[in-house]
A and B are shown apart, each in its own frame.
Chain A
Amino acid sequence: MRLRTLVIFLLALGVSLAAAWYRFDDSAHAMGMLSARGGQSRHPVTLGPGKERYAVIVTASVLPPWHGDAKVALEGETSLQWELHPAGPILDLGLHRHPTWQDGVLRGLQPRDRLAFWLQLRRPPGACPTHAVLPLKLTFRDAATDRALLEVPIVFATAGEESHVH
């Protein structure tokens, strides 16, 4: 009985370690900080080549003392269609202040605010699988000065390279 339990435990351990080791290359998570001096992403996003659809999760917090409005956009040349979706409450009970999202601009950001975005990339029907001509980056810019607050590079890996999935 004990041997059987041990074997099952080791089997579950092995399968789970393999699952932890395997990385999906159609999505990735980047973390960063919005800073007046130009924040950096903690690890670059690397996606696999040739997929129909990708998702990039970007979470960031606002480093004091910067506050204000931030434009968020994907910069670089690509044939991929993209959409940005900020995460937020379905029904905002109004108990806490949240920055608002309007026409690609986050309004009313305050120091230590936390943001979460889903960037969806999709290949248009009939488009070439080569996704990016130049490196892409998701950029947060100060809406007043156009200075970059955070840049999240998005790289499409060639065969053999790995993506970071968190």
Chain B
Amino acid sequence: MSTSPSFLVRHRTAILVAGLLLFLPPLALVLQAASGDHDFCGRWCPRMFFVWRPGLGGGEFFGGLMRSLFGVGLLVGILAVTWRLGRWWCGFLCPIGGATELGSRLLPRRWQLDFSRLPAAPLRYGYLAAYLLAPALGLGSLCCNYCNFATVPRLFGAAFLDPADIAYFLRSAGLINLALLLSLGLFARGGRGWCNLLCPIGALDALVSRCGQRWGQRVRILAERCNDCGRCREICPTGALQLGEEPDLDQLTCLGCRSCETVCTEGALHYGRTAQGVIR
């Protein structure tokens, strides 16, 4: 794959589809080739290994890392790429967000809920804080009860009538995950409600993106070029753009998909380093 930004933006839909083939049933090509697994649960889980529980010693924590070794590698890789290049995983390759985004494009816009006005960052980090705190306090766990990395692959498996994947949805937790997937994914404008509000990987990724914005490449807004037409805000799946007298792009919410770039006729949005534009 070329690393040319224009290539990524032009072929984003094809890359999202490739992400589905690489990571989701029926092929799950990367998972099957690397380890013989077929979903993100177990060795590929990128969400559970960093959660601490009372009584968990260093050896057991290390054992957890080893059990999810591919998931650990995936998360470290995602965050390293994000620091340097921006949120390529979330914006281009993530099969979970990709599936909901592509699915949402199939539905009429009038059926979709607009979550872009919600204050995503405090909601997301409130959820992340509970995700980390609840097991540590012995209260319970949000992982795996509310897991997009479990639900989306199983929805694809259920579509192929796999009995184990169908069984996932025939219980309260499965139905709640399905409801979250439909309301925050397929029926959300832009299809990224779950990513933006309830995905711990997305929350960590956004945090790294925000912290590394001075050193890495990101989508930037050039305020002096913005004519406040609103097209970028309309297409942004996460509501990261604020226009008006002081145009702003919230790096803590920006997905890095660069859809805004494609609709801006003034060249006010571009992908690059600090020196090439104005940081907002």
Contacts and interface: CB of A to CB of B under 8 A. Distances in A.
B170 A55 contact: yes
A120 B170 CA distance: 9
A58 to B, nearest CB: 11
B78 to A, nearest CB: 22
Interface string B131-172: 101110001111011100000000001001011110110111
Contact of B142 (A4, A5, A16, A87): A16
A83 B164 CA distance: 10
B142 A24 contact: no
Interface stretch (B32-40, B206-214, B224-232, B241-249): B32-40
Interface of B: 25-29, 32-33, 35-36, 38-39, 41-43, 119, 121-127, 129-131, 133-135, 139-142, 144-146, 157, 160, 162-165, 167-168, 170-174
A8 B139 contact: no
A10 B126 contact: yes
A5 to B, nearest CB: 5
Nearest to B160: A90
Interface of A: 4-6, 8-17, 19-24, 26-27, 29, 53-55, 59, 83, 85-93, 95-98, 114, 116-118, 120, 165-166
A17 B131 CA distance: 8
A26 B171 contact: yes
A24 B172 contact: yes
B119 A53 contact: no
Nearest to B161: A90
Contacts of B28: 89
A17 B130 CA distance: 5
Contacts of A14: 126
- What are the 6 closest A-B residue pairs judged by CB atoms, nearest first? A12-B126, A96-B36, A16-B130, A20-B134, A89-B38, A90-B26
B164 A20 contact: no
Nearest to B25: A90
A19 to B, nearest CB: 6
Contact of B164 (A8, A24, A87, A92): A87
Nearest to B163: A85
B123 A118 contact: no
A23 B164 contact: no
A16 B173 contact: no
Contacts of B145: 19-20, 24, 165-166
A26 B168 CA distance: 12
Contact of A24 (B119, B121, B173): B173
Nearest to A7: B122
Nearest to B36: A96
Given A16-B131, A55-B167, A86-B164, A8 B38 contact: no
A11 B38 contact: no
B42 A114 contact: yes
Most chain B beta carbons < 10 A, residue from A16, A29, A91, A95 = A16
Given A93-B27, A93-B32, A95-B33, A17 B164 contact: no
